[in-house]
Amino acid sequence: MITDMERIGDQSSDIAEIAIMMAGTPYIKKLEHIPLMAEAAIKMVADSIDAFVRKDLKLARSVIEYDDVVDDLFDKVTNDLIQIIGADSKNGKQAIDLLMIAKYYERIGDHAENIAEWVEYSITGKHIKHE
């Protein structure tokens, strides 16, 4: 779990660096799915930690299932950015930066899911990915 928490911190820092570099630059499209990814990833991290503290198996399992929400949003962001680059390659740099942010949120969700899986293991003695 410590490793997952460390990676969440690293990826959060990477998101902040990209956001600072993009500050003041007009976006190539309205950001709709990336803020939703951020909210979902934050929810997953908070809920996975709560599940650990409370030893709440139901909450841990809900985090595991919620990862699909972040994955679906990542697919939407990817498809949107592919279309934007296809329409005008001059948008490529910002599209890649936005894709990196989306990927970091997707990975944060994966790390929160890992934490929830270890919570489940600590309660049940069974780890989903090792069964």
Q: Which of 67, 64, 47 is nearest to 56 (CA)?
A: 47
**Cα–Cα distance for residue pair 110/103, rounded to 1 Å:** 10
Give the confidence band of 129 by pLDDT, cuts at 50, 70, 90: low
* Phi, psi of 55, rounded to the nearest 5 degrees: 55, 50
Which domains are present in the chain? 2-130 (1.20.58.220)
Q: What is the pLDDT of residues 81-104, one digit of tens each?
A: 999 999 999 999 999 999 999 999
Q: What letter represents residue 59's amino acid?
A: L
> Considering the entire predicted model, what is its pTM?
0.93
CA–CA distance from 35 to each of 30, 44, 47, 105, 110 (Å)? 11, 14, 18, 10, 17
**Cα–Cα distance for residue pair 10/17, rounded to 1 Å:** 11
